[in-house]
Chain A
Amino acid sequence: MDGLFYQISFWVLAVITVLSALMVTTMQNLTRGVIFLVFFFLGIGGLYFLMQAEFLALVQVVVYAGAVAVLFAFVIMLTPRVAEREIKQSLNLGAGFILAALFLALVLSLLLGQPWPELAAPGAGTITLGQLGQALLGEYLLPFELVSVVLLVALVGAVVIAGRNAGRGERKS
C-alpha cells in the first residue's frame, strides 16, 4: 500500500487535481475552464481509486466527467457569445479575503478537530455493490425516494419551462 508506486501515483494525481482546480477558478476563458473541470474530476476519480473506493471513483467519472461536464459545455456552447466572453475576476479584494479566511478557518477547524481514520487494509473496508444496493433500497429507502422525487420535479419543471417557448418557429404537424 505504501509502496513507491503508490506514492508516485498519489502525488501525480494530487498535482493534477489541485492544478486543474486552480485553473478552473482562475481561467478567464469559460471553454478552457470546462476542460480543466473534466481533468479535475478525473484526478479526483483517480484519488478515489487509490483509496480503493472503486465504485465511487467510477461513478465520479461517469456522472461528473461524463455527464455534468458535458452539460456545462452544452450550456456554454448554446448560449450565444458566452464562449468568447472573458470572465472578469472580481476586484473586491477585501470581501474576497474575508470570505477566504472564514472558509479556511472552517476547513481547518474541521480538519484539526477530527481524528484521522486510518486507511483500512486492502479489501477490508470495501463495500460490495450488493451491500450498497441493500442499504439504498432498504435502510435508506425514504431519503433515496425523496431524492428521486426531487430530481423528477426538476426534470418536469425544466420540460415545462422549455415547453413554453417551444412551437414558436417550428412547423406544427
Chain B
Amino acid sequence: MWLYQFFYQPGEWARGIYQVMENWAVRIGMGIQWIQLIDMIIVAIILIAFIFLDVMFLTWLERKVAGHIQVRHGPMRTGPHGIIQPVADAIKLLFKEPMALPGVDNLIYLISPLMMFVGAMLIYIVIPFSPGWVVAPMDYGLLFAFAASGLSSFFVMAGGWSSNNKWSLLGGMRAAAMTLSYEVPLILAAIGVALVSGGLSLVGIVESQAGMWNIIRQPLAAVLFLVASLAEMNRGPFDLAEAEQELVAGYLTEYSGMRFAMYYLGEYTHLLAGAALFTTLFLGGWQGPLLPPILWFLIKIHVMVFVYMWIRWTYPRIRIDHLMAFNWKFVLPLALINLGVTGLVLVL
C-alpha cells in the first residue's frame, strides 16, 4: 500500500510525509517556517544526491557508448564492465594539483567552474519528476530553465577568458557566440510547445500531453530543439568550445584537478538537464502506461541522454563558421516558420 502510493500517487505521498512532519512540529512546539526549512533541505539533499550519482553514471556511460560505437570495449578493468571507473577518476582528480598560470585572474578563475555547475543544477528546480514532485512549480518554469542554462554558458566564457591562454579565450568566445545564437531557435522551438500547451509552466506542459505527446504535435520543433540544445550544451558535433584538433581543449585547457572536475560534472549536469527538458517538453514527461511515473521519467531521460551521446559519437565536428551559418540561415528561419504555423493553426 505504502509502496503503491509512493510509485503511483507520488504527490499525495509527499504531501502525506509533509503533513506528518508538520503535525510533529506543532506537537513539540516548533515554528512552521523551521519545518519548511528542514523540508527544503531534505529535498535539496535528495535532488543533489540524484544529480551527482546520475552524472557519475553518465560519465561511465559516455565512455561505454563511445567505446562500443568505435568497436572497442571502453573501461573494463574497474569493477564489472568498468562501472567503478567514475570513482577511480574522482580519486585521481582529487590528488591532482590545482594549478594556475601566472597572470590568471584568480577570482574569476576560481568561481567560474562553481557558477557553471550551479547554473546547470538550477535547471532541476523546475523540472517535474513525477506528479507533485517538483521543487518549485513555477508559472514560468520554461523561462527559468533557459535563464539558468544561459547563466551556466556565461561562466564557460568567463572561465576561458580568465585562464590567460589564447586557446582558452577562443574556446570561451566560441561558447558564448554559440550560446547567444542557438538560444534564439531553442527558445522559439520551446515557445511553439508553450503555445500548444497554453502556458510556460512545465507541470502544465506535461499535463497537457496526456494522450498525445508534443513530439507528434510539434515534430519540427522537436528536431530544432534537439539540434539547438546540442549547441547550447556544448556537445558534439557542436562542441566547438573544446575542439581538440584546433584548440587543445578549449576553455578547459588550463584547468586541472577538482576545478576541471567541476566543469566536467557541470557539463554532464547540463546534459542530463537538457534531456529532462526535452522529455518534459516533447516526450510527455512522466506520462506512460503501467509503469510508475517516476520510472517512466527516468527511462525517457536516459534514452534521450543516449540519443545525445549517439549523435556525438556518430557525426564529425563541424567548422565554426559553418555552425554559425547553419544556425542563422537554416535553423532560425525554420524555427520562425514553425512558430508562425503553430500560431496560425491555433488561431484558426
Q: Mark B261-298, 1 if CB is under 8 A from A, else 0.
A: 00000000000000000000000000000000000000
Q: Mark B87-104, 1 if CB is under 8 A from A, else 0.
A: 000000000000000000
Q: Is B154 in contact with A62, judged by CB distance below 8 angstroms?
A: no
Q: Is B158 in contact with A58, judged by CB distance below 8 angstroms?
A: no
Nearest-CB residue, chain A, relative to B146: A62
Q: Is B108 in contact with A32, judged by CB distance below 8 angstroms?
A: yes
**CB-defined contacts of B199 to chain A, threshold 8 Å:** 129
Give the CA-CA distance A60 to B162 in the complex, in Å.
25
Nearest CB of chain A from residue B242's CB, rounded to whole Å: 18
Give the CA-CA distance A42 to B154 in the complex, in Å.
13
Give the CA-CA distance A35 to B158 in the complex, in Å.
8
**CB-defined contacts of A47 to chain B, threshold 8 Å:** none
Q: Mark A61-98, 1 if CB is under 8 A from B, else 0.
A: 11001110111011001100001000000000000000
B139 touches A (CB below 8 Å): yes
Given A58-B143, A67-B180, A74-B176, the answer on whether A31 and B154 have CB atoms closer than 8 Å is: no
Q: Is B151 in contact with A58, judged by CB distance below 8 angstroms?
A: no
Q: Is A4 in contact with B33, judged by CB distance below 8 angstroms?
A: yes
Q: Is B105 in contact with A61, judged by CB distance below 8 angstroms?
A: no
Q: Is B143 in contact with A66, judged by CB distance below 8 angstroms?
A: no
**CB-defined contacts of A31 to chain B, threshold 8 Å:** 105, 108, 161-162
**CB-defined contacts of A3 to chain B, threshold 8 Å:** 33
- Counting chain B residues whose Cβ lies within 8 A of the other chain, the interface size class is 20 to 34
Q: Is A69 in contact with B173, judged by CB distance below 8 angstroms?
A: no
170-194 of chain B: CB within 8 A of chain A? 173, 176-177, 179-180, 183
**CB-defined contacts of A62 to chain B, threshold 8 Å:** 143, 146-147, 150
Q: For the complex, would chain B's binding face be called helix, strand, loop or mixed by DSSP majority?
A: helix
Q: Is B107 in contact with A32, judged by CB distance below 8 angstroms?
A: yes
Give the CA-CA distance A165 to B310 in the complex, in Å.
41
Q: Is A77 in contact with B169, judged by CB distance below 8 angstroms?
A: yes
A38 touches B (CB below 8 Å): yes
Q: Is A58 in contact with B157, judged by CB distance below 8 angstroms?
A: no
Question: Mind listing 29 A-B residue pairs with CB under 8 Å?
Answer: A31-B161, A32-B108, A35-B107, A35-B108, A38-B151, A55-B139, A58-B144, A59-B143, A61-B150, A62-B143, A62-B146, A65-B147, A65-B154, A66-B146, A66-B150, A66-B151, A66-B153, A66-B154, A67-B150, A67-B180, A70-B153, A70-B154, A73-B154, A73-B157, A73-B158, A74-B176, A74-B177, A77-B161, A83-B161
Chain B residues engaging chain A, CB cutoff 8 angstroms = 33, 37, 105, 107-108, 111, 138-140, 143-144, 146-147, 150-151, 153-154, 157-158, 161-162, 169, 173, 176-177, 179-180, 183, 199-200
Top 7 nearest A-B pairs (CB, nearest first) are A66-B150, A61-B147, A58-B143, A62-B147, A70-B176, A58-B147, A58-B140
Chain A residues engaging chain B, CB cutoff 8 angstroms = 3-5, 29, 31-32, 35, 38, 42, 54-55, 58-59, 61-62, 65-67, 69-71, 73-74, 77-78, 83, 128-129
Given contacts A65-B151, A129-B200, 11 further A-B contacts (CB under 8 A): A38-B154, A42-B151, A55-B143, A58-B143, A58-B144, A62-B147, A66-B146, A69-B154, A73-B161, A83-B161, A128-B139
